[in-house]
Amino acid sequence: MLTLTAAAAALGTTIALTGCGASGGSSGDVTLKLIAAEYNVDGAQSTKTYWADLVEEFESKHDIKVEATIVPWTEIHAKVAQLVKDGKAPDIAQIGTYADYADDDKLYSADQLLSIPVQSNFLRPLVDAGEQRRVQYGLPFAASTRLLFYNKELFAEAGITEAPTTWDELRDTAAQLKDAGVKYPYALPLGPEEAHIETMLWMLGGGSNGFVDPGGSYALNSKENQSALKWVKSNLVEPGLTGPGAPGELNREDAFKAFNKGEVGMLNGHPSLARKAEEAGIDLGQVPVPGKDGKPKTTAGVADWIMGFKENGHREEIGKFFNFLFTDKNVMAFASQNDLLPPTVSASEAMEVDPEHKALKDFLVELPTSLLPPLNKTSWGPLNEEIKKNIGRTMEPGRSPESVLADLAQKAEEAENREE
Where residue 109 sits, what CATH number does that domain have?
A: 3.40.190.10
Judge whether 272 lies within some domain: yes
Which pLDDT score, from 0 to 100, does residue 42 have?
A: 60
State residue 41's pLDDT score: 59
How would you write the pLDDT of the chain (420 residues) with one tens digit per residue?
Answer: 454 333 333 333 344 444 333 333 345 589 999 999 999 756 567 899 999 999 999 999 999 999 999 999 989 999 999 999 999 999 999 999 999 999 999 999 999 999 999 999 999 999 999 999 999 999 999 999 999 999 999 999 999 999 999 999 999 999 999 999 999 999 999 999 999 999 999 999 999 999 999 999 999 999 999 999 999 999 999 999 999 999 999 999 999 999 999 999 999 999 989 989 999 999 999 999 999 999 999 999 999 999 999 999 999 999 999 999 999 999 999 999 898 999 999 999 999 999 988 889 999 999 999 999 999 999 999 999 999 999 999 999 999 999 999 999 999 988 888 766
For residue 321, being part of any structural domain is answered with yes
Residue-level pLDDT at 416: 80
Asked if 71 and 127 sit in the same domain, the reply is: yes
Q: What integer pLDDT is reported at residue 417 of this predicted model?
A: 81
> CA 357, CA 213: separation in Å to the nearest integer?
35
Whether residue 311 is contained in a domain is answered as yes
Whether residue 186 is found in the same domain as residue 289: yes
- In this structure, is residue 113 part of a structural domain? yes
Helix (H) or strand (E) holding 58: helix 46-61
163 with 291, same domain: the answer is yes
Instruction: Judge if 13 and 69 occupy the same domain.
Output: yes
Domain boundary among 348, 369, 390: 369
Strands 264-269 and 184-186: parallel
- pLDDT for position 40: 79
Shared-domain flag, residues 94 and 133? yes
Answer whether 253's CB lies under 8 Å from 4's CB.
yes
**What's residue 29's pLDDT?**
85
pTM of the model: 0.90
Whether residue 274 sits in one domain with residue 390: yes
Same domain, 213 and 322: no
Residue 364 belongs to a domain: yes
For residue 22, give its domain range.
6-143+302-369
One domain for residues 283 and 313:
no
CB-based contact 132:140 (threshold 8 Å): no
Burial class (CB in 10 A: 0-12, 13-18, 19+), 317: buried
With vertex at residue 169, the alpha carbon angle to CA 166 and CA 173, rounded to the nearest 5 degrees, is 140
pLDDT at 12: 35
On whether residue 1 sits in a domain, the answer given is no
pLDDT score recorded for residue 419: 67
Residue 374 lies in a domain: no
Residue 290, amino acid: P
Domains: count for the chain: 2
**Same domain, yes or no: 154 and 139:** no
**CB within 8 A of 69, min separation 6: which ones?**
14, 15, 16, 17, 33, 34, 35, 36, 90
Q: How far apart are the first and last CA of the chain?
A: 26
Residues 186 and 284 in one domain: yes
Q: Are strands 147-151 and 264-269 parallel, antiparallel or unpaired?
A: antiparallel
**Does residue 238 lie within any of the structural domains?**
yes
Residues 290, 311, single domain; the answer is: no
pLDDT at 4: 35
Q: Quick one: 152 and 86 in the same domain?
A: no
For 169, 235, 243, 315, 373, the CA distances from 174, given in Å and listed in that order, are: 8, 10, 10, 54, 28
